Amino acid sequence: MRLIRLLIGTVIVFALVLIGGFFLIPGEKIAQMAADEISRRTGRDVQIGGAARVTFWPELGITADGLKIANAPWSENGPMFQAKSVTIGVDAAALLKREVRIRALTAQAPEILLERNRQGVGNWEVTLNGASGGAAQDTAAPAGTARPTPITLDRAEVTGASVYFIDAQAGTEISQRNFDLVLAYPDDGGAADVDLILRPAGDPVRLRGVVSDVAGLAGGDISPLSLTVEMPGAKGKFDGRASLTPEVQGALSLTASDTGRMMAALGQADPGLSPGLGRDLAVAGDITLTRDNRLALREGTLSSGKNSARVAADLALGGDRPRLTAQLTAGALDLTALSSDAAPAQAGAAQVGWSTAPIDASALGALDGEISLSAPSVALGATTLGTTRVLVTLDRARAVATLREVQAFGGVLTGEFVANNRNGLSVGGDLTASGIKLKQALSELAGITRFTGDASARVKFLGSGQSVAAIMNSLSGDGGIETGRGTIEGLDLDRLFRGGDPTGGTTIFDATTANFAIAQGVLSNSDLLMKLAGIEARGEGRVDLGKQMIDYLFTPVSLKARDGRGLALPVLIRGPWAKPRISVDVEKAIELNAAEEKKELENRVREKVKAKVESELGITQQEGESAEDALRRKLEDEAKKGLLKLLNR
């Protein structure tokens, strides 16, 4: 990399000028001579804005304050390199042998500005006149016999450094501030020890390791590299090869005891993961980073708590958003921690209604891609799924989870679940369940153990809002459920209709069907039908999903009761669905069961009224005339007679 060559050339020029004139020339003059020589070689103006001091002990050296190296002519953002103070200490005896052995190199608060203009040209693209291979030539050597000057560095120490990168072509800016670097390069052409401390968010992130081929790395070649990283909450290791292009290939391992602390140290938000679900994390595998910013992971393993998976992934870092393609093949997954993630209610107070806490769905827009997951089982706390195969597709803040196969409750779930955050958050789904065992599903989900049989269901829904409450109150959609032959254990409806104790027996039903519609968070159903031997049960009503309220009428009918006329027992279920009121609808029961008796009673009352009117008022009801009409007719006749008498007719 040309920037590395420039910095190395700067150090060499300072060293050569220093040894050539320190006995006769003041420090300021030596520093100015070195600055002029660097300017001549690079074409960039070099300035020393402060004092320059020569030291003789413990090594021969010079300290220059306010060193600046000018930027490319097309840039208006200030110097490419500047430092508060730079000190170079060299081995004088080695210089006499035309070798540069740097005993010490220190820089205080250096700032490096890297830029790429709209044409794709970098400000680090500098032609080093009179230099080769990144090192300055020995200008005293005869023409045609020039050779690179051997360079070694016992210790370089940089404190409070900052690097800024402005890419006008891509419209991006990146910076890394307040980092420290200690570098040792004791053998020319040999390895270098590196100790780098970054502080993205204040806490130290430390990288230590060995670069096997420093000269090759500085020249843009690939060098063997071994690094370890330590930061709050995590540590890792890399063994492989790398270049400054950048290119990376090798084995990576990372162990995080707390990913929240790790992400905070990297200047990122805490993802809020649970233990066993990413809070503790171990990653290992072979990684490859290519020049076109493509990162690949092969033979990868991922584990957290009891959960583990084999991983293969490709991440393309170019474009508007990174694009990830990954395949995860997991063992038995334990996701029970998800059921306990919700914040507990305050002591002595029951939580009422859905949560109104804002949902942050910004992570949906972090990247695009496809992630497939397969597992032999998934424990969810309330239940355990069997074989699970899911594909998640991310595209511009819209995620679609396709359930290719999810074995649940003895049956299979398929369909899609969608979360869309392109213009506010919305969620939807189109799901189908088949072969579901009622006893297993109801007992695990609701603690109901009376029902047996197989069921199938479908549901299509859509909701929007920035909280669970808003989504539930906005739901729309439709669906249905069907069951085959099954039983209701511990309840004998036939015995109930015969006036006996309904408990302790079993009711066998042949089939159940129901369809429903959802609008503004309210589920409506009017066609629930359960067929039993000699009994038919119907249902209709509403379930307010948003307000968690129910208003439903369930009516079992004994078709054989009352000599085949039937007997219905309508039951009202009303109130909060956590604790609804259940009562018999007496008015509805009378309407359904005593229609004939009611009509007969009305007829008997009407006959008594008729007899009373005729005997006491002398009114005779005509055919089809009610008592009220007969009385009105009698009054009209009497009024007419009175009027005629008044007129003497």
* Residue 281 pLDDT greater than 60, yes or no: yes
β-pairing, 426-437 vs 411-420, is antiparallel
- Which string of DSSP letters, residue by residue, matches 21-81? HTTTS-HHHHHHHHHHHHHHHHSS-EEE-S-EEEE-SSSEEEEEEEEEE---TT--S--SE
pLDDT digits (tens, 9 = 90+) for 218-242: 767 899 999 999 999 999 999 999 9
3-state secondary structure of 534: coil
pLDDT value of residue 228: 97
| Backbone phi, psi, residue 111, to 5° | -130, 125
**Contact, 166 vs 112, CB < 8 A?**
no
| Backbone phi, psi, residue 267, to 5° | 80, 20
pLDDT value of residue 343: 43
3-state secondary structure of 236: strand
pLDDT value of residue 329: 96
pTM for this prediction: 0.69
pLDDT value of residue 41: 72
640 vs 400, higher pLDDT: 400
Domains of the chain, residue spans: 1-188, 425-593, 601-646
3-state secondary structure of 171: coil
How many alpha carbons fall within 13 Å on the CB side of residue 166?
A: 13
**Contact, 541 vs 551, CB < 8 A?**
yes
CA-to-CA dists, residue 586 to 417, 431, 538, 583, 621, angstroms: 44, 39, 17, 9, 36
pLDDT value of residue 138: 41
Highest mean pLDDT (candidates 468-482, 522-536, 542-556):
468-482
* Residue 624 pLDDT greater than 70, yes or no: no
Q: What is the spatial distance between Cα 184 and Cα 109, in angstroms, rounded to a whole number?
A: 19
User: Model confidence at 557, in pLDDT bands (50, 70, 90)?
Assistant: confident
User: Model confidence at 122, in pLDDT bands (50, 70, 90)?
Assistant: confident
With pLDDT > 70 as the criterion, what percentage of the chain qualifies? Answer: 73
Which whole number is the average pLDDT over 93-107?
Answer: 76
User: Model confidence at 355, in pLDDT bands (50, 70, 90)?
Assistant: confident
90 vs 80, higher pLDDT: 80
* Residue 627 pLDDT greater than 50, yes or no: yes
User: Model confidence at 18, in pLDDT bands (50, 70, 90)?
Assistant: low
Q: What is the spatial distance between Cα 566 and Cα 595, in angstroms, rounded to a whole number?
A: 12
> Is-cis flag, bond preceding 58, omega within 30?
yes
Would you state the structure tokens that stand for residue 258, as one six-digit string? 């707390």
| Backbone phi, psi, residue 634, to 5° | -60, -45
What residues contact 319, with CB distance under 8 A and at least 6 apart? none
* Residue 345 pLDDT greater than 80, yes or no: no
Q: What is the spatial distance between Cα 535 and Cα 78, in angstroms, rounded to a whole number?
A: 90
Residue 83 pairs in a beta bridge with 67
pLDDT digits (tens, 9 = 90+) for 465-497: 999 999 999 999 999 999 988 887 766 666 656
User: Model confidence at 554, in pLDDT bands (50, 70, 90)?
Assistant: confident
* Residue 142 pLDDT greater than 50, yes or no: no
Write out 539-607 in H/E/C secondary structure: EEEEEECCCCEEEEEEEEEECCCCCCCCEECCEEEEEECCCCEEEECHHHHHHHHCHHHHHHHHHHHHH
CA-to-CA dists, residue 530 to 82, 485, 516, angstroms: 84, 10, 15
What residues contact 480, with CB distance under 8 A and at least 6 apart? 457, 458, 513, 514, 515, 516
22 vs 185, higher pLDDT: 185
* Residue 34 pLDDT greater than 90, yes or no: no
pLDDT value of residue 602: 54
**CB neighbourhood size of 64 (10 A):** 25
What residues contact 392, with CB distance under 8 A and at least 6 apart? 370, 371, 372, 373, 399, 400, 401, 402
Taking each helix axis as running N to C, give the angle between helix 2-21 and helix 27-42, from 0 to 180 degrees, rounded to the nearest 10.
140
pLDDT value of residue 53: 80
Q: What is the spatial distance between Cα 527 and Cα 540, in angstroms, rounded to a whole number?
A: 6
* Residue 135 pLDDT greater than 60, yes or no: no
**CB neighbourhood size of 46 (10 A):** 23
Residue 246, burial from CB neighbour count under 10 angstroms (0-12, 13-18, 19+): exposed
Q: What is the spatial distance between Cα 166 and Cα 171, in angstroms, rounded to a whole number?
A: 8
* Residue 118 pLDDT greater than 80, yes or no: yes
Q: What is the spatial distance between Cα 288 and Cα 298, in angstroms, rounded to a whole number?
A: 9
Residue 54 pairs in a beta bridge with 62
91 vs 633, higher pLDDT: 91
- Which string of DSSP letters, residue by residue, matches 258-305? -HHHHHHHTT-----PPTTTTSSEEEEEEEEE-TTSEEEEEEEEEEET
Q: What is the spatial distance between Cα 84 and Cα 537, in angstroms, rounded to a whole number?
A: 88
112 vs 3, higher pLDDT: 112
Residue 158 pairs in a beta bridge with 107, 181
* Residue 185 pLDDT greater than 60, yes or no: yes
pLDDT value of residue 318: 74
β-pairing, 368-375 vs 323-330, is parallel
**Contact, 355 vs 473, CB < 8 A?**
no
Name the average pLDDT for the chain. Answer: 80
| Backbone phi, psi, residue 392, to 5° | -110, 125
Which residue in this structure is represented by tokens 């269901």?
457
Which whole number is the average pLDDT over 267-294?
Answer: 90
DSSP state letter for 626: -
156 vs 286, higher pLDDT: 286
Residue among 453, 588, 591 nearest 532 (CA): 453
pLDDT digits (tens, 9 = 90+) for 236-267: 999 999 987 789 999 999 999 999 999 999 88
pLDDT digits (tens, 9 = 90+) for 499-525: 555 566 777 888 899 999 999 999 999
Residue 311 pairs in a beta bridge with 300, 328
Rounded-to-10 torsion of CA 367, 370, 374, 378: 40
H helix runs in 302-400, sequence order: none
pLDDT value of residue 368: 94
329 vs 571, higher pLDDT: 329
* End-to-end CA separation in angstroms for the chain: 134
pLDDT digits (tens, 9 = 90+) for 411-462: 999 999 999 999 999 999 999 999 999 888 878 876 667 788 999 999 999 9
pLDDT value of residue 97: 72
3-state secondary structure of 254: strand
DSSP state letter for 631: H
Question: For residue 5, is it left (φ>0), alpha (ψ between -120 and 50) or beta?
Answer: alpha
128 vs 265, higher pLDDT: 265
3-state secondary structure of 215: helix
pLDDT value of residue 571: 79
